[in-house]
Structure 1
Amino acid sequence: MDIIAEVRRRHFVSKESISSIALSLRISRSTVRKHLKTEIAPVYQRQSQPFPKLGEFKAVLTQWLETEAQLPRNQRRTAMRLFEGLVDEGYMGAYDSVQRFVKQWKIDSKNTPSIKQAFVPLVFKPGDVCQFDWSQETVEIGGIEQIIKAAHFRLAFSRKMFVIAYPREAQEMVMDAHNKAFIFYGGVPLQMVYDNPKTIVDTVFVGKERKFNRRFMALANHYLFEPVACTPAAGWEKGQVENQVGNVREWLFTPRAKFATFDDLNRWLEKRCHELSSRKHPVLPSQTIAECFQQELPFLRQITAPFSGYIEHLLKVSSTCLVRIDRNQYSVPAQWAGQVVSVRVTAHDLNIVAEGKTIATHQRSFLRDQLICNPWHYLSVLEKKTGALRHGAPFQDWNLPESIRKVREKLLQQDKGDRAFVDLLLLTRDVGIDALETACELALESGVVSGSVVQNEVRRLVEPARLKTLNTSDNLQLTAEPQADCQRYDYLLGSHYVH
């Protein structure tokens, strides 16, 4: 535009010739003549870009864009993925055409007035519905910042909420959370409303039809509630608990919650849930949530027994008496080495069962590559391999009673002390750990510590007490005392001697 103004000014005002202007500005005379006839800048690019190759594929691409606009942003295809899809449909054109079309479609769709969704106000009867959801929060447990999962429950009538935290979102946590929530509420509602997580729903069919997880259905059948799954990406179907997730993050996790253990955190969360029930009910402002909950409580089904919320794994015990679960190893009594056992994993514990009996119990670890051993599981191995007492992994940090630990230290300094201490441990099969602890204390007090001394103290502790006096009945009194008669011996010898 600047050059047009200069050409017109130099010709019409300064009366400069067309040839002189063209020479000085280094443009052609025809261009000078064209500029003299106009006052606006020339347009050298077309305003609308045609899509010659796209042609018949516009309808397909438009349909894809409209369908994916209803999906969450992270589930929509990029222009490149859409281009690849059109190529599969037979498109022979370039990617640029698809990219320009997608860009223009997004601009046009933003300028189109959006139609807001309309909803119907919902009313729930007491005891009818409870909504469930998970949220991800950041807390400080034992001085370590970590991301946790919080399970949220909300009774739809009274708005009474319950929140409990776990290290992760797994199926055993889902079942444990339901056990804790129903105990907290004092009963079970008729329906439970969920999203479609894999811990609850195996397959999503058309509409509301779902294939629920077999283990989860065992939970539902135990408590006799009806599970209802929402339509995918339709969070408004359980809007109460969706709103609760945002509110709880502000009320309970901001600023960051700091506790020594998960148990401390969950006790505090339960207390806060009771305290927050003193707020006014959002629909019945004349009453508090706690008052509405008292009205709803009689309609909740009473709990007969808690559900055994464990996940079972059949595993073979290794030659080192270990089973591997969740990237951690747990010990099993040595007599089960090489055999298949049932490992029942709960939200907090791990129980190992064989032949219908629990043979080992461990507190569950949520770290990785941990070795969790009970040294007593290896007692029969120590009987044959006493050298493992010094360097065996299960015995390095053995939490023994103080007196037994001191006796162990003294015995390991003696010749054949390993065998002596193992023999003492084997005594616990019959007498128990308490008798051995007392015997070690007595040996330490005497100042003489050896395997034989401690064993002697154990036997003295467990042998039955001797009676100091013998009470005899009058009927057992001796009436005629026997007389010494050596001739009787000779008589017996002569009468019974055989040549």
Structure 2
Amino acid sequence: MHRRFEVIPGAQAQVDWGNEAKILAHMGIPKVYSFHMTLSYSRDPFCCFTTGQDLQTFFDCHRRAFAHFGGVPMTLVYDRTKTVFRCHVAPGEAVPLHPEAVGFAGHYDFDVLAAYRPTGKGRVERQVLIVRDHVLSGRSFSSVEEMDAAFTAWVPQRRAQAHRAHQQIIGERAARDHVALKPLPETPYLVAERHLWPVGKDCLVAFGGNLYSVPARKVRPRQLVEIRATKSQVMLHSTVADNSGVTLLATHPRAIGRGVRIVEEAHWDGLPTGKGRRTTTGDDLPRPRPERPPGEQTGPLQALLHRAAATRIEVGRRPLSVYDELTGTRPFTTRPSTRETS
């Protein structure tokens, strides 16, 4: 049992993913996902299709949805997606948010709500099935852009229908929803992957199977730097700001593929190149030191270090009775046997 809820215009939107499986497998794209955002008051839908569910793609879909609606709702409802919530907690406890989700929500000024049961965001889950049945079913596509265009062409048809729940035209309620939305900020929020990684002895930082350079005069080997990567560029920051309060070390375009090395030559200024090393024709090379004859070995230590020379050291030989006289002990003698005395 649960309590049914209603919202006012512009108060809430619900977000969910849909798995469209291998709809583009014939084009060499293994998986396609659909991102959905539905305004809870009017059920006005938004949908776009992607080939991944990573952090940057997730919030890029948010920006596209806000542009589609012309504003930002006061709250967004999610399920337990890892791109928003860091871990699962028991009902009633505070849900820890992903740092990028906190920054994104603060930039666009909306609150994040966690649905503890499927019925908490049933409006967007129903929209996933509607888009699948009315936009994708029975059709073939060659790209995600073509799928996006198919949804955009279907939206006016959807807005002209009366919703079975509120019995009103979706487009009329959507107009009230759009007016109540918060305005979009002047600049979009830049979502980036963040990692800590050490600098190599060659002033290069490894990320995503590629190498990116940092200034040699500002780092030291094995120093940890922060990597902030977007889809188009990689920014390398120091963990400690310099005297002017700046942490940015370098900015590079993000490499495509793996095994790419992106180096700015100015970053290697001050490092030895080997061009100033002296060369010679070989005539003025220093002559090797002549070896000493075996008889010129000086001292017993050097003689012992060479086994051949050690064998030629003369050792004095004396009877054991000499040591007995020096120590005042009785020399060891054997007792004659009984057979001999008899």
TM-score by length of structure 1 reads 0.45
User: Are 2:72 and 2:183, in contact at CA under 8 Å, matched by a contact in 1?
Assistant: yes
3-state secondary structure, aligned to 2:107: helix
Listed as ranges, the matches of 1:368-379 within 5 Å are 370-374=258-262
Report how far residue 277 of structure 1 moved: 4.1
Of 159, 164, 176 in structure 2, the residue corresponding to residue 295 of structure 1 is 176
Of 46, 49, 52 in structure 2, the residue corresponding to residue 162 of structure 1 is 46
Q: Which moved more, 1:290-299 or 1:237-246?
A: 290-299
Structure of greater relative contact order (alpha carbons < 8 Å, 6+ residues apart): 2
3-state secondary structure, aligned to 2:83: coil
Listed as ranges, the matches of 1:118-157 within 5 Å are 122-137=5-20, 138-140=22-24, 143-157=27-41
Q: Distance in 1 between matches of 2:86 and 2:161?
A: 39
User: Are 2:135 and 2:151, in contact at CA under 8 Å, matched by a contact in 1?
Assistant: no
Distance 1:314 1:220, change over 3 A: same
User: What residue in structure 2 maps to residue 332 of structure 1?
Assistant: 213
User: What residue in structure 2 maps to residue 401 of structure 1?
Assistant: none
User: Are 2:215 and 2:268, in contact at CA under 8 Å, matched by a contact in 1?
Assistant: yes
Q: Distance in 2 between matches of 1:300 and 1:271?
A: 21
Give ranges in structure 1 of 5+ residues lacking alignment: 1-117, 387-499
Report how far residue 197 of structure 1 moved: 1.8
Deviations 1:73-125 (A, max 9, x none): xxxxxxxxxxxxxxxxxxxxxxxxxxxxxxxxxxxxxxxxxxxxx66654332
Q: Distance in 1 between matches of 2:10 and 2:155?
A: 18
Of 194, 206, 209 in structure 2, the residue corresponding to residue 312 of structure 1 is 194
Listed as ranges, the matches of 1:411-422 within 5 Å are none
| Bigger Rg, which one | 1
Note the aligned Cα RMSD (angstroms). Answer: 3.5
Listed as ranges, the matches of 1:218-229 within 5 Å are 218-229=103-114
Report how far residue 159 of structure 1 moved: 1.5
Whichever residue aligns with residue 296 of structure 1, its letter is D
Aligned-residue sequence identity (percent) comes to 20
Report how far residue 142 of structure 1 moved: 9.6
Q: Distance in 1 between matches of 2:158 and 2:255?
A: 33
Distance 1:364 1:375, change over 3 A: closer
Q: Distance in 1 between matches of 2:265 and 2:162?
A: 56
3-state secondary structure, aligned to 2:31: strand
Higher helix share: 1
Q: Distance in 2 between matches of 1:162 and 1:194?
A: 15
Whichever residue aligns with residue 202 of structure 1, its letter is R
Q: Distance in 2 between matches of 1:329 and 1:341?
A: 16
Q: Distance in 1 between matches of 2:92 and 2:14?
A: 16
Give ranges in structure 2 of 5+ residues lacking alignment: 238-245, 276-342
Q: Distance in 2 between matches of 1:267 and 1:375?
A: 38
Deviations 1:238-281 (A, max 9, x none): 1111111122223333334312xx5x357526634644544413
User: Are 1:334 and 1:377, in contact at CA under 8 Å, matched by a contact in 2?
Assistant: no
Is 2:153 the partner of 1:280?
no
Of 77, 82, 100 in structure 2, the residue corresponding to residue 193 of structure 1 is 77
Whichever residue aligns with residue 46 of structure 2, its letter is F
Of 64, 69, 72 in structure 2, the residue corresponding to residue 180 of structure 1 is 64
TM-score by length of structure 2 reads 0.63
